[in-house]
């Protein structure tokens, strides 16, 4: 998560969750849940790419536990750092960006141990009026009391606060304006008296600036922005490993209708990330090799 002024950007994989309660009220979910049990879109992505989704089979046809991706057995469809779970578990994050009003708000970022025990409303209500530090500790305590310590239970609370109203003495110190400039910038007394209050006290609404959740690298990396300004020509656009000239594979390789885009155009992927991209798009290397040998 990145905060810059009133703008909050969240990139998420897995089943941790980030929620926002603006000062105006309401709840905004800034992350996506990549649990296979609850995300039908991700289940379809995996099965259409050649993977399998099912529960753990204990023998005799008995299945237990949550839905998992096979090979690997992970109950999530996206994660970071799980190198041994197969090609269908991808690290491509869901990204959402919002802009808060000048009234600010509260953000709660917690792992699944919290959300297995508390709803978003419960988490927000149980810590209302507390400082961020005290609120995070209290949310963890409430979740452990509700279901015990069964999983990672971590919480971070961030308050984005409104700007403080500057002292009146500072605001009233104005340089004299004469002649034409005075007539241009002169305001009615009713407007000028309320201008400062509006700037610092009036609430706006939360604006949703951007959201992208596709796991397809070919969609995520396509852009109208000059690619030379975003990606180095001899660096993998995903893992940032250096690649030798001629070894990089363009994301436009094999595109049916490339238009103006050519395979010689970047951004480029290393062979490992290209295999991952093909698996995510249902173009498994093993399938191509087997079909070519027939």
Average pLDDT, integer, range 251-278: 71
Per-residue H/E/C for the chain:
CEEECCEEEEEECCCCEEEEEECCCCCEECCCCCECCCCHHHHHHHHHCCCEEEEEEEECCEEEEEEEEECCCECECECCCCCCCCCCCECCCEEEEEECCCCCEEEEEECHHHHCCCCHHHHHHHCCCCCHHHHHHHHHHHHHHHHCCCCCCCEEEEEECCCCCCCHHHHCCCCCCCHHHHHHHCCCHHHHHHHHHHHHHCCCCCEEEEEECCCCHHHHCCCCCCHHHCCCCCECCCCCCECCCCCCEECCCCCCCCCCCCCCCCCEECHHHHHHHHHHCCCCHHHHHHHHHC
Residue 291 lies in a domain: no
Domains in the chain, number: 2
Residues 11 and 127 in one domain: yes
Domain boundary among 212, 246, 271: 212
Residues 8 and 115 in one domain: yes
pLDDT-derived band at 290, boundaries 50, 70, 90: very low
Residues 122 and 237 in one domain: no
pLDDT of residue 215: 80
Residue 184 lies in a domain: no
Answer yes or no: is pLDDT of 142 > 90.
Answer: yes
Q: Which domain holds residue 277?
A: 232-281
Residue 180 lies in a domain: no
Average pLDDT, integer, range 138-151: 90
pLDDT of residue 113: 93
Residues 120 and 244 in one domain: no
Residue 258 lies in a domain: yes
Query: Which tens digits make up the pLDDT trace of 200-253?
Result: 334 468 999 989 888 876 677 665 444 444 556 678 887 888 888 778 888 777
User: Between residues 63 and 230, which one has the greater pLDDT?
Assistant: 63
Query: Which tens digits make up the pLDDT trace of 67-109?
Result: 999 988 999 999 988 877 878 888 889 999 999 999 999 999 9
Answer yes or no: is pLDDT of 256 > 80.
Answer: no
Query: Which tens digits make up the pLDDT trace of 173-198?
Result: 444 444 433 333 334 444 433 433 44
pLDDT of residue 174: 46
Of 24-38, 43-57, 237-251, the one with minimum mean pLDDT is 237-251
pLDDT-derived band at 260, boundaries 50, 70, 90: low
Residues 10 and 124 in one domain: yes
pLDDT of residue 250: 82
CATH number at residue 29: 3.60.40.10
Answer yes or no: is pLDDT of 286 > 70.
Answer: no
pLDDT-derived band at 64, boundaries 50, 70, 90: very high
Residues 96 and 236 in one domain: no
The share of the chain scoring above pLDDT 90, in percent, equals 45
pLDDT-derived band at 136, boundaries 50, 70, 90: very high
């Amino acid at each position: 998560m990145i905060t810059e002024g009133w703008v909050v950007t969240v990139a998420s994989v897995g089943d941790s969750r980030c929620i926002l309660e603006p000062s105006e009220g309401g709840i905004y979910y800034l992350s996506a849940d990549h649990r296979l049990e609850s995300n039908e879109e991700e289940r379809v992505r995996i099965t259409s790419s050649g993977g399998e989704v099912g529960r753990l089979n204990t023998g005799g046809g008995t299945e237990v536990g949550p839905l998992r991706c096979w090979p690997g057995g992970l109950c999530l469809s996206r994660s970071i750092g799980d190198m041994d779970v197969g090609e269908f578990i991808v690290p491509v994050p869901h990204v959402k960006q919002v802009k808060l009003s000048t009234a600010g708000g509260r953000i709660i970022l917690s792992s699944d141990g919290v959300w297995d025990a508390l709803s978003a409303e419960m988490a927000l209500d149980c810590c209302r009026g507390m400082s961020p530090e005290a609120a995070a500790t209290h949310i963890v305590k409430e979740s452990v009391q509700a279901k015990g310590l069964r999983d990672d239970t971590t919480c971070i609370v961030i308050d984005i606060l409104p700007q403080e109203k500057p002292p009146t003495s500072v605001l009233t110190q104005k340089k004299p304006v004469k002649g034409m400039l005075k007539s241009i910038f002169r305001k009615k007394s009713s407007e000028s008296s309320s201008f400062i209050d509006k700037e610092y006290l009036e609430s706006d609404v939360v604006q949703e600036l951007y959201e992208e959740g596709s796991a397809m690298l070919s969609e995520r990396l396509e852009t109208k922005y000059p690619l030379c300004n975003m990606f180095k020509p001899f660096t993998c656009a995903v893992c940032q490993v250096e690649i030798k000239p001629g070894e990089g594979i363009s994301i436009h390789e094999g595109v049916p209708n490339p238009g103006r885009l050519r395979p010689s155009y970047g951004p480029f992927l290393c062979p490992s990330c290209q295999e991952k991209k093909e698996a995510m798009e249902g173009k498994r290397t093993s399938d191509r090799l087997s079909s070519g040998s027939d």
